[in-house]
Chains A and B, each alone.
Chain A
Amino acid sequence: MIEVHGFSFTYAGTATPALRDVDLKVPKGQLCAIVGPNGAGKSTLCYALAGFVPHFFRGELKGQVRVGDRNVPDTPLPELSGEIGLVFQNPFNQITGARFTVLEEVAFGLENLGVPRAEILDRANEALRLTGLGSLGDRSPYALSGGQQQRLAIASMLAMRPRLLVLDEPTSQLDPAGTEALFTHLSDLVSSGSMTVVLTEHKLEWVATFAHRAVVLAAGQIVADGEPREVLASPAMEALGIRPTYYTQAARAAVASGLAPDGRGRPLPVTLEQAAEFLRWR
């Protein structure tokens, strides 16, 4: 689905590349999480996959980004928008302001694609329901709380049903129940084969629970890539500025003080379930 090869990008007016020589292949139907410290290049990678780099954010580019059978840097944004959806980190950057209600906002993209009215309503209402906004369709987007606006930004992209959905820190303002619901839904979408998902996330517990794969970016380069538990429990993460979950920290402390045996080849736990299993005495 995605093939990034030897990709580097330097924003216009800056000297340091935001991404350097990135190689990334994501097969269709994968839920791939990108983690890394602030400034690692995560958002730039999201923009590059969705074509905002280089079509909207200009700069110097090397290498290739292919999504499906399109070469992204050579394809105009409007052509990409039906196939690739991007949820911005800050919902204010995404909500159009051109519509009066939450429902109209979600319908806006579909209207522009000329989707029939009945289908627009079905898809928009479904997206609102899935993001917990079902009862707020008549409200102004600006009468929503910060977290509700983030849900709206996500709903707008879900309604588009892109083949590739890219989400840049989609849960930063969501309450924990909303975070779990979103991950569960994304996980269902990829398992049904209807979507490929790439997202950036600081909350490692959710990555380890739901993602098929964790890719670690640091200073513009991919420094680790693999099965989430293995990648995220690795002691190398701290040196990169990525804090392990408290589950990993607790297990590591228990092992270090001789209270629990080491993992006997198993990686340390990252999630609650893994930690309870790792530390439970029988």
Chain B
Amino acid sequence: MEIKVEAVTFHYPSGVLALNEVNVTVGAGETVAVVGENGAGKTTLARHLNGLLRPQSGEVWIGDWNTRQKSVASLSRRVAYVFQNPDDQLFARTVWDEVAFGPRNLGGTPQQVETDVRAALERCGLQDAVGRHPYDLPAAERKFVAIAAALAMRTPVVILDEPTTGLDAGGVERLGALVEGLKQEGRTALTITHDLDFCAAHFERVVVMSEGRILGDGPARQVLREAALLQQAHVRPPQLIALAMALGFPTSPMTVPEFLADYRRYTSQRSSPQ
């Protein structure tokens, strides 16, 4: 489902200008990472997509819905939002009830709810935690409960706000597999992240934000190599691209095998490493 953000401006009541005439269109099934410094407006932008915030000027479209004309509850049929801090969104007494809350409220039959919840829990590796209290789980697992709750809604759009925070290598890998699953299903996925290695591995397009504006927007392979642009937004190229640049390669390797192929190509004519 397409997302259209048209000339959106938003001030918080404190006076902070968080979004300044932001325009961005995300096509159906696209995977987009939004990066930028702390306070750039990334979360504010994401909260406009599920109606938690309404534009003060400009419009936000989710498919053919204008968010001004829809409640947060209706928008939740199209957009699932995973908060930066899972503790902002978890409230049920068991993992099962937490994940079932959304599907139940969408009015699915008990069988449909059961199927959706079970599938979401399995994708997040939580099938053995159904009876646990979410707050008895470690923080990293609570994050996956929040993600499962979003996935169980089976929305065409999924937003993940800093999903890798506090996850170890295994957790980041599990999360990457989830994003790949969303891609295969043709869902639109938008993430906010400072983890550019995670971006490079799983997102095809990168939007760079700074001070409430969009500084750059394009294919990940291209944007993630623009060191000066990224630096303006207090981020930096992912490790493999940084290494390729340091070695003088003109390429943007996104995976270790890609790096290795570049290394082979650009060093084959020389004699030996130092």
Contacts and interface: CB of A to CB of B under 8 A. Distances in A.
A250 B167 contact: no
A37 B169 CA distance: 7
23 contacts: A37-B169, A38-B138, A38-B167, A39-B138, A139-B14, A145-B38, A146-B85, A172-B165, A173-B165, A173-B194, A174-B38, A175-B233, A177-B37, A177-B231, A202-B169, A241-B168, A241-B169, A241-B170, A242-B168, A246-B240, A247-B239, A259-B263, A272-B243
A147 B165 CA distance: 11
Contact of B39 (A144, A238, A260): A144
Contacts of B37: 147, 175, 177-178
A261 interface: yes
Given A38-B170, A146-B84, 12 more contacts: A89-B166, A140-B14, A145-B43, A172-B166, A242-B168, A249-B256, A259-B263, A259-B264, A279-B243, A279-B247, A280-B274, A281-B270
Interface string B251-274: 000001101100110010011111
A143 B273 contact: no
Given A246-B197, A281-B267, A281-B273, A254 B168 contact: no
A143 B14 contact: yes
A281 B272 contact: yes
Interface size class of chain A, counting residues whose CB lies under 8 Å from the partner chain: 35 or more
Interface in B147-200: 162, 165-173, 194, 196-197
A241 B87 CA distance: 25
A175 B167 CA distance: 16
Contacts of B274: 280-282
B66 to A, nearest CB: 27
Nearest to B143: A38
Interface in A174-200: 174-178
Contact of B162 (A146, A243, A275, A281): A146
Contacts of B243: 246-247, 250, 272, 275-276, 279
Nearest to A279: B247
Interface of B: 12, 14, 16, 36-39, 42-43, 84-85, 87, 138-141, 162, 165-173, 194, 196-197, 231, 233-236, 238-240, 242-243, 246-247, 256-257, 259-260, 263-264, 267, 270-274
Contacts of B242: 272
A100 to B, nearest CB: 11
Nearest to A138: B14
Contacts of B171: 38
Given A176-B235, A241-B170, A279-B247, A145 B87 contact: no
A134 to B, nearest CB: 13
Interface string A236-278: 0010011101110110011001011100000000001001100
Interface in A53-97: 89-90, 92
Contact of A38 (B36, B87, B140): B140
B138 A276 contact: no
A61 to B, nearest CB: 21
Nearest to A169: B166
A163 interface: no
Contacts of A238: 169
A272 B14 CA distance: 41
A275 B173 CA distance: 23
A100 B165 CA distance: 27
A8 interface: no
A148 B14 contact: no
Contacts of B165: 172-173
A261 B2 CA distance: 50
Contacts of B239: 205, 245-247, 250, 272
Contact of B273 (A169, A245, A260): A260
Given A259-B260, A259-B263, A282-B273, A145 B39 contact: yes
Contacts of B264: 257, 259
B38 A175 contact: yes
A282 B141 CA distance: 47
Contacts of A172: 165-166
Nearest to A90: B85
